[in-house]
Copies of this chain bind each other. A is one copy, B any other.
């Protein structure tokens, strides 16, 4: 089992210093609080705001980081004997200050109830970012004397907030060495989870068996789910959260599962394997089409390359492969213009990866789209989450797919432009493929790229070898 990676405090000091250098005024970044599940005290596992985790490294529920005049001050709950009975003793604020590097940078850690005075001293002229939970956003709004709406990241109407968002994006787009170590840790444990998933798959079992086996690997290593795990024989349902289906000989199982390290960094991996352990010839043929498109797209990842072009490489690769199989007829450029790719691959090639699995999606397309660029209006391309030039240090996913979605293939508005060049009689032979997606995490290096998730088998013979040795 991969050993846990802990980021040294000097990294957090350096990140806070880098943010100070980009700020034009004071800012307050809240950790947030765990939302309630069915009653107030029964809460979901706490997940701190990614901005807070980036700068502080520890999920301190209810805490907030104030950066003002070059000084970093963390406001958090002081130790409380009453609370210690229920949640264990908490360290003194002094100790927290040393552990998290605030003392080292001439900063400070103070009790949360002194935050209002500190904000008043700044005339409450302070930028912030909304948290996801309503309670914290209300709390932030009360502190700052203005409306801070939960989950409103995409619509930052306050200029101070927008400026803070841009500063965070400028920092977080390119990962420092310690962030890369976290991504590698997440990738490595998630890779083990996928291997465990393959080994737990057998006809007569259930999606739940596979889900449970993968989850157990993540939890044993101390990782949470970076997103709702998809483990399904209905890969054509893109965000299926049902795990109750039986596993039948002949089914392909799609698993899109990634862990999140205790510091919050994500992996995002999709693999598809046959329940029987052997791909059928038709499954194998289509799988190889997706894999070739994926390898071509990964190959296109390098500094300076516009990510939308990587998306286009995958689309072209997919359509070329489908022409080879005879599912499409005709010339590839024309087929692409007529929407051939999005008939079977109706989503984007991937997204930024970091502390969030869709990194900084809380800030809307402000993070994923370069200034001046907006979403395409075209079906399929409209779901592309990233349209920037790639830079060294960025991490992205590359995840093309092939899905037979009844709602798309039965919609004349989508299929009409292809006419008879979509050869349904050929497609019918591939009825044993409902959905395939192959997804890796890729870091842009100075000269090209590094695949963080290459430990997960993906060639047909590699996958079948793992399953033979179940």
Q: Shortest Cβ distance from A353 into chain B, in angstroms? A: 13
Binds B, one of A235-243, A282-290, A313-321: A235-243
Say whether B228 contacts A220, CB under 8 Å. no
Chain B neighbourhood of A43, CB < 8 A: 228
Q: Shortest Cβ distance from A10 into chain B, in angstroms? A: 23
Cβ of A133 within 8 Å of any chain B Cβ, yes or no, is yes
Say whether A208 contacts B237, CB under 8 Å. no
Say whether B239 contacts A86, CB under 8 Å. yes
Say whether B208 contacts A42, CB under 8 Å. no
**C-alpha gap A220/B210 in the complex (Å):** 8
Cβ of A81 within 8 Å of any chain B Cβ, yes or no, is yes
Say whether B361 contacts A41, CB under 8 Å. yes
Chain B neighbourhood of A38, CB < 8 A: 47, 49-50, 132, 264, 355-356, 362
Cβ of A37 within 8 Å of any chain B Cβ, yes or no, is yes
**Given A41-B358, A216-B215, A133 and B132 contact (CB-CB distance below 8 Å):** no
Cβ of A408 within 8 Å of any chain B Cβ, yes or no, is yes
**C-alpha gap A86/B238 in the complex (Å):** 5
Chain B neighbourhood of A429, CB < 8 A: none
Nearest opposing residue in chain B for A40, CB measure: B151
**C-alpha gap A414/B287 in the complex (Å):** 68
Cβ of A209 within 8 Å of any chain B Cβ, yes or no, is yes
Say whether B220 contacts A209, CB under 8 Å. yes
Using an 8 Å CB-CB cutoff, how does the interface string of A147-161 with B read, 1 for contact, 0 for none? Answer: 000110100000000
Chain B neighbourhood of A213, CB < 8 A: 216
Chain A stretch 205-240: residues in CB contact (< 8 A) with chain B: 206, 208-209, 211-213, 215-217, 219-222, 227-228, 234, 237-240
Set B35, B150, B208, B358: member contacting A220, Cβ < 8 A: B208
Q: Shortest Cβ distance from A84 into chain B, in angstroms? A: 5
Nearest opposing residue in chain B for A152, CB measure: B40
Q: Shortest Cβ distance from A186 into chain B, in angstroms? A: 14
Cβ of A326 within 8 Å of any chain B Cβ, yes or no, is no
Say whether B227 contacts A42, CB under 8 Å. yes
Q: Shortest Cβ distance from A302 into chain B, in angstroms? A: 28
Interface-centre pick from A40, A356, A406 (highest chain B CB count, 10 A) = A40
**C-alpha gap A361/B38 in the complex (Å):** 9
Say whether A219 contacts B228, CB under 8 Å. no
Cβ of A374 within 8 Å of any chain B Cβ, yes or no, is no
Chain B neighbourhood of A39, CB < 8 A: 132, 151, 153, 356, 358, 360-362
**C-alpha gap A356/B47 in the complex (Å):** 23
Interface-centre pick from A38, A132, A153, A212 (highest chain B CB count, 10 A) = A38
Cβ of A336 within 8 Å of any chain B Cβ, yes or no, is no
Using an 8 Å CB-CB cutoff, how does the interface string of A74-87 with B read, 1 for contact, 0 for none? Answer: 00000001001111
Chain A stretch 105-156: residues in CB contact (< 8 A) with chain B: 132-135, 138, 150-151, 153
Using an 8 Å CB-CB cutoff, how does the interface string of A342-358 with B read, 1 for contact, 0 for none? Answer: 00001000000001111
Cβ of A412 within 8 Å of any chain B Cβ, yes or no, is no
Chain B neighbourhood of A45, CB < 8 A: 228, 241
Nearest opposing residue in chain B for A205, CB measure: B220
Q: A35-B35, A42-B358 are in contact. List 19 more A-B contacts (CB 8 A).
A: A35-B132, A35-B133, A36-B151, A37-B44, A38-B264, A38-B355, A39-B361, A40-B132, A41-B358, A42-B357, A81-B411, A87-B241, A89-B407, A133-B134, A134-B134, A134-B138, A212-B215, A212-B217, A216-B216
Measured CB to CB, the residues of A under 8 A from B are 35-45, 47, 49-50, 81, 84-89, 132-135, 138, 150-151, 153, 206, 208-209, 211-213, 215-217, 219-222, 227-228, 234, 237-244, 264, 346, 355-358, 360-362, 405-408, 411
